[in-house]
Amino acid sequence: MNRRYIYPLLLLLVVVGLFYAEKYIDKEKEDYPSPVVDMVAESDFDDRFLPNSTTGKIVRHTYFTLSYSEKHEQAEWVAYELRDEQLTKNEFERPYFVQDRKISSGSADWRNYKNSGYDRGHLCPAGDRRFDYEAYHETFLTSNISPMDHEFNAGIWNRLEQKVRYWTSRREALYVITGGILENGLESIGDEEVSVPKEFFKIVVDRTGDDFKAIAFLIPNEGSSRSFYDYAVSIDKIEEKTGLDFLRGLDNRLEGRIESQLDLKEWGKE
List average pLDDT for each run of 10 residues in the chain, which is 270 residues long: 56 53 36 37 78 95 96 97 92 92 93 96 96 95 98 98 96 95 97 97 91 94 96 96 93 91 87
Asked whether residue 100 falls in the same domain as residue 226, the answer is yes
Predicted local confidence at residue 98, as pLDDT: 95
Q: How many helices (H) and strands (E) does the chain have?
A: 6, 11
Residues 86 and 152 in one domain: yes
Could you tell me if 76 and 189 lie in one domain?
Answer: yes
Cα 35 from Cα 145, distance rounded (Å): 23
Q: Tell me what pLDDT residue 269 has.
A: 82
CB–CB of 200/157 below 8 Å? yes
188 and 136 part of one domain: yes
Whole-number pLDDT of residue 247: 92
**CA dist., res. 126 & res. 136, Å (int):** 6
15 plus 54 within the same structural domain: no
Angle of the 235-242 helix axis to the 252-260 helix axis, nearest 10: 100
**66 and 27 in one domain?**
no
Give the span between the Cα atoms of 83 and 77, in whole angstroms.
20
> Which domain does 27 fall in, by range?
1-31
- If one counts the domains in the chain, the total is 2
CA 202 from centre of chain: 11
pTM: 0.83
Do residues 183 and 222 share a domain?
Answer: yes
Length in residues, the chain: 270
List of E strands, the chain: 58-60, 65-69, 74-83, 119-122, 145-148, 173-180, 188-189, 194-195, 199-208, 211-220, 232-233
- Write phi, then psi, for 178 (nearest 5 degrees): -135, 145
Q: Select from 170, 153, 181, 240 the least CA-distant residue to 204.
A: 170
Same domain, 25 and 45: no
Q: What is the CATH number of the domain that holds 106?
A: 3.40.570.10
Same domain, 129 and 146: yes
What is residue 36's predicted lDDT score, i.e. its pLDDT? 37
Q: Are residues 26 and 138 in the same domain?
A: no
Q: Exposed, middle or buried, 178 (CB in 10 Å: 0-12/13-18/19+)?
A: buried
Q: Is 223 found in the same domain as 135?
A: yes
Identify which of 99, 129, 175, 125 has the alpha carbon closest to the alpha carbon of residue 33: 129
Instruction: Identify whether residues 17 and 90 lie together within a single domain.
Output: no
In this prediction, residue 42 carries a pLDDT of: 58
